[in-house]
Structure 1
Amino acid sequence: MLTEAIEQAAKDAIREGALPEGELPQVILEVPPQKEFGDFATNFAMQSARVFHRNPRQIAEELAKRIEGDWLDHTQIAGPGFLNFYLKGNVLYDSFQKILEAGEAFGNLPKLDHPKIQVEYVSANPTGLLHVGHGRGAAAGSALVNLLRAAGYPVESEYYINDAGNQMNNLARSVNARYLELLGKEVTFPEDGYHGQDIIDTAQRIIDRDGDKYLALSEEERLAIFKDLAYHEKLAILKEDLERFHVTFDNWFSERTLHPDAVRKVVEILKEKGDIYEKEGALWLKSTAYGDDKDRVVIRDNGVPTYLAADIAYHHNKYERGFDRLINIWGADHHGYVCRVKAAMQALGHDPEKLTVLLLQMVSLYRGGELVKMSKRTGQSVTLNELMEEVGTDAARYFFLMRSLDSQLDFDLDLAKKKSNDNPVYYIQYAHARICSIFRQAEETKLALGEAPHLELLTDESEVALIKKIEEYPEEVAKAAADYAPQRIARYSYDLAALFHSFYNKCRIMGVDHDLAEARLALVTVTAHVIRHSLGILGVSAPEHM
């Protein structure tokens, strides 16, 4: 309501010539720390000063002239250009009554008439176990999908299985070497092989199931069998770990399906457009013509496609499937890859602006204040499965989502395991468990929520602050979705829990006047729903007992 009023006032001021044309910044509302500064405040005038080339207070004055409604008592301009809003007394409670009536639907924004968005994330090679870096991408991608859906966008999630190319051959050779070693044969381990304990485990499972029967085969035959066996096993374990991490996908897309036809097709299209040339026996994409720093090989001089060729075919396939927006979550080490993929899409006639790549920064694990570099079990990178075993799925997901993707994350394992209010996810979950305890007490004392509780009795500062925070939630969902920022929901859920704990410590529910008790029961009912909804976006559970 208030956000729309501010945006409309700015548009009206532009139309009437009071402000020049310009792209409006996002309206951000805050609840002032002190009641005398109003019910809500915004720094919109200061944020838009560069756009309008006006003094912020002058912008605020133009906005204040044009903001009106039967819900508004008055506005006030403060400091360098803050706009403070004072609502009429009944507005807060009328709005909260509507939230109460919305029930479980509150927080889900209306479905948008918007073309489908695709979010592709994790997409790790099925050659080994997922590590903590993959875990951060998995948490971020799944939370973003949940967030966009809550905001009303049609979304499809996808995992791109890198199951073609040399890494699969290396997988087969690695398993074969471990298979022979375990059967007492001398073998030289492949130079590009995978050294993880999981490869030894795979070879041992083959022996446990089939014995040494593959020794009688030629190496070529054995490699073909081991490639298939290992691939399906690794993919199954990968899916199992992701499901345990509360991550599922609408679609699993196999790179194998692109070879050879889809890859050949895009190369032919680019040739016809004059964007492929031959040099030293290889085929090169003229990516410099589309902003890349150098041209890129797509077909090697031996006729084998590069990884880029498959990625071009894959992204061409995405565009062809009709997605309006493509969101990829990649590791930060892929930052140089973004420009070349976008260049290829532009060369193929697609709009590169429809492709957004979010780059994921590194995760550093700390235990006892010391950096944890390796898994105790394998001596390799710490796996996602090991992290879940140590701190739990909920804590792992929340800690991954506390910071924006483009910031490096220091993950404190000791803090994540704490059963105290120092641990942010425990603090939020404890708020929900406390509310569930209130519900059980209410049931025992026959206190029930009627159709028209006297919400106007909720006048304590802690009650009003909690109501205002709840009323911000749909706007927070919309903004977080627009910014691809699930970390905003993580922060919101923590702030909401803090306000609830303050209310709980100050305001009794049982043993007070019936009407007041019922109004407070309504407040905690909605609070519980919003905590569940926000944690649901993050893929974190809301326990009833702790």
Structure 2
Amino acid sequence: MTPDVLADLVRVAAQDVLAARGLAADALPADAGVERPRNPEHGDYATNVALRTAKKAGVAPRDLAGWLAEDLTGRPGIASAEVAGPGFINLRLAADAQGALVGELLAAGEAYGTGDEYAGRNVNLEFVSANPTGPLHLGGTRWAAVGDALGRVLTARGAKVTREYYFNDAGAQIDRFVASLVAAAKGEPAPENGYGGAYVADIAARVVRAEPAALGSPDRDEIFRRVGVGFMFDEIKQDLHEFGTDFDVWFHENSLHESGAVDAVVQQLKDSGALYEADGAWWLRSKDYGDDKDRVVIKSDGRPAYIAGDLAYLRDKRARGFDLCIYMLGADHHGYIARLKAAAAAFGDDPAVVEVLIGQLVNLVKDGQPVRMSKRAGTVVTMEDLVEAVGVDAARYSLIRSSVDSALDVDLDLLVRRSNDNPVFYVQYAHARLASLARNAADLGVEPGREYELLEHPREGDLIRTLGEFPEIVRAAAELREPHRVARYLEALASAYHKFYDSCRVLPMGDEQVTELHRARLALCVAARQVLANGLGLLGVSAPERM
């Protein structure tokens, strides 16, 4: 019995109790509130539904809890229901009801953990979107891992997700990058506010090889812009692909200006009155839509401000049919939350069609000290540096497992350690251990059984209940946009499995006869392996067969 099924059962029982006592049916909350207690001695699950219902129903919480516990005790699948504290109810499941989850999980297979609450939602997920002026640094690398995992989680719960990378290939930063390439090609130092690092010289040399006459051409800067920025794009795309993150759409900011989309949006907003003129510039009435101030869209010199491209880009996304546009931006973009929501409102949209996630900084540490190890960028650590140091799996997992709301220190020493202190090793080792067990079972001719009611050991129950939490974990990860919940869950699952394995012998030893309990435990192991594989797949991390 999964927690969702148990919650439905508790709610039905509560409805029956209210009806039998002549109490208001609308007093019952929509969610029965079933969860696992911190102390397993209190039961398999607990519910506070009586506490949340009693006041509105006009009865004492412990009285309502007592009536509900009495009703639940007589229902199939419930071994006992006991009142605790001011009105909590501790529940213990019957062995057959608890073990039935194993069969349900095995039947679902790779689909276990999926759902349909986002079915019909067309989601544009924009992440990384780093300026093409250098290799991806750790901040962009974090978004590459987290954004890809979020896309997988949303897809698992029914959404149609388009992963999109927004290339900022217009504006002053690109101008400085081009000037830096030209200087490097001429053997000169980078200009003031330009870009240094060996990668600039590498790209410049490639431009000269591709276009030998570039330096002497009257179109020199345009050639270096077109070819050099193109080479940088290619490197970013290749690094992302090797990191396991691929995009459906590579959108170029410059296309919005060249196509006339920016001009069209500005005119639309002028016509609707969302823009007004002051001091020779055109301003968006963004304060009217919840922003902290109005924003300049067209400067007094007639040039578009950066927000002009943002407005055209949002309009383009909506025109492509996306009903939810998620932007994953860096720590220095906090002001974009209100700005982009105001932009949506200015177009007459519900601001809820825009969501902005802000990711905090990432630091690499070794021996407790910050690391500066970049060979190419000189002053920052890049995606390539991190992957070279610890590998793709460890890099992705370490960047996903913490909430993006907080700054993250990535410990290099820990991530190269093949021990249980290393979270990714701990989880992957559990899967590899289960794969080894499956091979040993096959060698012995032992196949999984279906006598799940035999799984009565406390460690078996703990593992089963942990497996039962997976669908809710994935649902919450999608709803809250927090894929780190999946990683933390996998660590808890690996712990539950290791404790089970240390307490419960799965395969017979020596001349010991194979029993139905062996087969039932093997089925439980197959189920645990499936969930570990499903969860690692949501993170874009491999599930190794051997380690």
TM-score by length of 1: 0.90
Q: How high is the sequence identity, in percent, across the aligned residues?
A: 42
Partner of 1:468: 465
Q: Which of 505, 508, 511 is matched with 1:510 structurally?
A: 508
Residues 231, 65 of structure 1: alpha-carbon distance in 2 compared, 3 angstrom cutoff: farther
What are the equivalent positions in structure 2 for 1:245-256 lying under 5 Å apart? 245-256=243-254
- CA gap of 1:26–1:391, structure 2 versus 1, over 3 A, is farther
The yes-or-no answer on 1:215 pairing with 2:218 is: no
Partners of 1:475 and 1:9 in 2: how far apart? 22
Aligned to 2:229: 231
* Match runs of 1:406-485 below 5 Å: 406-449=405-448, 452-485=449-482
Return 110-119 or 257-266, whichever deviates more.
110-119
Per the TM alignment, residue 158 of structure 1 is displaced from its structure 2 partner at its CA by: 1.4
**Aligned-partner Cα distance in 1 for 2:375–2:56:** 54
In the alignment, which residue of structure 2 is the partner of 1:99? 105
SS of match in other structure, 2:335: helix
Q: Which residue number corresponds to residue 242 of structure 2? A: 244
SS of aligned partner of 2:461: helix
Letter in 1 for 2:43: G
Counterpart of 1:365 in structure 2 is 364
Deviations 1:114-161 (A, max 9, x none): 321221111111121101111111111111111111122222221112
Query: Which range moved further: 404-413 or 98-107?
Result: 98-107
Quote the residue 1:38 is aligned against.
43
**Which residue in 1 is equivalent to 2:533?**
532
| Cα separation, 2, equivalents of 1:46 and 1:176 | 71
- Cα deviation code 1:290-321 (max 9, x no counterpart): 22222111112222211111001111222222
How far the C-alpha of 1:6 sits from its partner, in A, is: 4.8
**Alignment partners' CA distance in 1, 2:457 and 2:384:** 46
The answer for the alignment partner of 1:404 in structure 2 is: 403
- Is contact 2:134-2:377 (8 Å) kept? no
1:195 matched residue in structure 2: 196
Partner of 1:204: 205
Counterpart-to-counterpart distance in 2, 1:289 and 1:22: 39
Q: Structure 1 residues 386, 34: CA separation in 2 closer, same or farther (over 3 Å shift)?
A: same
Shift of 1:9: 6.8
Deviations 1:329-365 (A, max 9, x none): 1112111122122112111111101211111111122
Aligned residue for 1:349, secondary structure, equals coil
Between the aligned partners of 2:383 and 2:59, the Cα distance in structure 1 is: 51
CA distance in 1, matches of 2:276, 2:62: 58
Separation in 2, partners of 1:130, 1:152: 31
Which residue, 2, 6, 14 being the options, matches 1:2?
A: 6
Letter paired with 2:527 = V
Which letter does structure 2 place at the counterpart of 1:40?
Y
Q: 1:355–1:110: structure 2 CA closer, same or farther, 3 Å change rule?
A: closer
Q: Deviations over 1:415-459 (max 9, x none)?
A: 11111111111011111111111122122222233xx53222222
Runs (5+) with no aligned partner, structure 1: 182-186
* 2:485 is aligned with 1:488: yes
Larger CA deviation: 93-102 vs 133-142: 93-102
Cα offsets for 1:46-98 (capped at 9, x unmatched): 78999999987578568758868533344323234433222233211223222
- 2:316 equivalent to 1:312: no
Moved more, 101-110 or 415-424: 101-110
1:140 aligned counterpart, secondary structure: helix
Tell me if structure 1 keeps the 8 A contact 2:129–2:167.
yes
CA distance in 2, matches of 1:403, 1:92: 31
Separation (CA, whole Å) in 2 of partners of 1:14 and 1:334: 51
What SS class does the counterpart of residue 215 from structure 1 fall into?
A: coil
Give the letter aligned to residue 109 of structure 1: G
My pick for the range that moved more, 159-168 or 311-320, is: 159-168
Contact 1:32/1:39 (8 A) holds in 2: no
Ranges in structure 2 where 5+ consecutive residues have no aligned partner = none
State the 1:217 CA deviation. 1.2
Q: 2 CA distance for matches of 1:320 and 1:38?
A: 52
Amino acid at match of 1:479: A
Contact 1:531 1:542 in 2 (8 A): yes
> In the alignment, residue 106 of structure 1 is paired with which amino acid?
Y
Answer yes or no: is the 8 Å Cα contact 1:25–1:47 preserved in 2. Answer: no
* 1:184 paired residue number: none
Tell me what 2:275 maps to. Answer: 276
Q: Is the 8 A contact 1:31 1:468 kept in 2?
A: no
Aligned to 2:381: 382
Given residue 8 of structure 2, which amino acid in structure 1 is its aligned partner? E
- 1:144 corresponds to which residue? 150
Tell me, yes or no, if the aligned pair for 1:432 and 1:543 is still in contact at 8 Å. yes
Q: Structure 1's 63 and 254: CA in aligned 2 closer, same or farther, altered over 3 A?
A: farther
Assess if the C-alpha contact under 8 Å between 2:123 and 2:323 holds in 1: yes
1:349 corresponds to which residue?
348
CA-to-aligned-CA distance 1:174-229 (integer Å, 9 cap, x gap): 11111111xxxxx5743332223211110122334554x223212xx011011111
In 1, Cα distance between equivalents of 2:303 and 2:444: 74
Residues 168 and 141 of structure 1: is their aligned pair in 2 closer, same or farther, counting only changes over 3 Å?
A: same
Answer whether contact 2:138 2:383 (CA < 8 A) is retained: yes
User: Where does residue 89 of structure 1 map in the other structure?
Assistant: 95
Distance 1:12 1:459, change over 3 A: closer
**What corresponds to 2:256 in structure 1?**
258
2:181 to 143, 163, 175: 175
Matching residue within 72, 84, 97 for 1:78: 84
Q: Hey, what's the Cα distance between the residues in 1 that align with 2:284 and 2:147?
A: 30
SS in 1 for 2:450: coil
Deviation, 1:518, is 1.8
Q: Provide closer, same or farther for how the CA distance between residues 225 and 208 of structure 1 changes in structure 2, counting only shifts above 3 A.
A: closer
The CA RMSD over aligned residues, in Å, is 2.9
Shift, 1:289, TM fit: 1.6
* Letter in structure 1 aligned against 2:319: E
Residues 7 and 32 in structure 2, CA contact (< 8 A), matched pair in contact too: no
Q: By how many angstroms is 1:101 displaced?
A: 2.5
C-alpha separation in 1, matches of 2:15 and 2:523: 38
Scaled by the length of structure 2, the TM-score of the pair is 0.90
Give how far 1:408 is off: 1.8
- After superposition, the Cα gap between the structure-2 partners of 1:347 and 1:428, relative to the gap in structure 1 and judged at 3 Å, is same
1:24-35, aligned counterparts within 5 Å? 27=33, 29-30=35-36, 32-35=38-41
CA distance in 2, matches of 1:4, 1:11: 11
* Aligned residues of 1:433 and 1:545 also touching (Cα < 8 A): yes
Compute the displacement of 1:31 (Å): 5.2
CA distance in 1, matches of 2:226, 2:340: 30
Q: Secondary structure at the match of 2:414?
A: helix
The answer to whether the 8 Å contact 2:337/2:355 transfers is no
Q: Secondary structure at the match of 2:169?
A: coil
CA contact (8 A) 1:128 1:196 kept: no
8 Å CA contact retained: 1:457, 1:516? yes
The amino acid across from 1:206 in the alignment is V
Q: State the 1:230 CA deviation.
A: 1.4
Give secondary structure in 2 for the equivalent of 1:489: helix
Change (3 A) 1:112 1:215: closer
Aligned AA for 1:522?
Answer: A
Aligned AA for 2:233?
L
* Deviations 1:222-265 (CA, angstroms, capped at 9, x unpaired): 11011111121111111111111111122222212211411111
Shift of 1:496: 0.7
Equivalent residue pairs, number: 535
Give the whole-Å Cα distance in 1 for the aligned partners of 2:314 and 2:266: 13
Q: How far, CA to CA, are the matches of 1:433 and 1:279 in structure 2? A: 66
Q: Distance in 2 between matches of 1:387 and 1:505?
A: 35
